[in-house]
Amino acid sequence: MHAEDVRQHLTTPLTSPAYAPTVPRFTDREYLNVVYRTDPGALRAVVPEPLRIGEPLVRFEVMKMGDVSGYGPYTEAGQAIPVSFEGEQGEYLHAMYLDNFPATASGREVSAYPKVLGSPSLTVDSGALVGTLDHGSQRVATATMGYKHHELDRREAEAQITVPAFMLKTVPGYDGLPRVQELVRTRITDVTVKEAWTGPARLQLFAHVLAPLADLPVLEVVSASHILTDLTLSGAEPVHDYLKGAAS
């Protein structure tokens, strides 16, 4: 294989890439969102500067992807933290667990999504929407919400899921030091909200050393939503370079 051919490949292995070279379109993406109040000190310990924390809130989410171009259906769960950057309100994506390796690899390599493999699920059980996350054989999160109790304004639902997302991208060099270390920004585009609901909710987090969601403890459930949508993820752009100490 000639050098110019190698340069055309964006991922490895060269002859069987880990993910498709496509911008994924999400069809029938179903959210369970539970926003809760947590310990401010715990947030300060995990949110990187120059992001700023306002209220000590966390959004636990479970997302069931009905269909995704390039990846197929899968499910994802994680935590997002409301933050601001240079006056812009958004969310810091703290942790994401999903059951699809190509989506995990591309999310980490192409963008900066903090994705690792896990076993999330989103189902309806006896009048409750139930979102769970397992790591191996161990349960680390269980969220329940009353199934379609009250309609949620679709404009409000769109506003909930389209705030800018901030992520930390670190790529190590061969000397063990970071070669890339940037804060990046992305957001959801081309959104169609098909259904939106709200209702009572509960959330339990269980301590696990490799899936430490419970390090941001649940002190009070603030709100919950159940949203069905189609959308596209825009590309990530660097907004702060930690190695230079200035904006890119």
Which whole-number Å values give the CA distances from 15 to 18, 28, 101, 108, in the listed order?
10, 32, 17, 20
Checking DSSP bridges between strand 128-135 and strand 220-233, what pairing results, if any? unpaired
Q: What region does 87 belong to: left with phi over 0, alpha with psi -120 to 50, or beta? A: left
The active-site residue, picked from 115, 148, 194, 244, is 115
E-strand stretches of the chain:
25-37, 52-53, 57-68, 74-85, 88-98, 115-117, 119-125, 128-135, 138-146, 150-151, 165-172, 178-186, 188-198, 201-205, 220-233, 237-241
Catalytic residue list contains 115 = yes
Neighbours of 140 (CB within 10 A): 24
Active site residues: 115
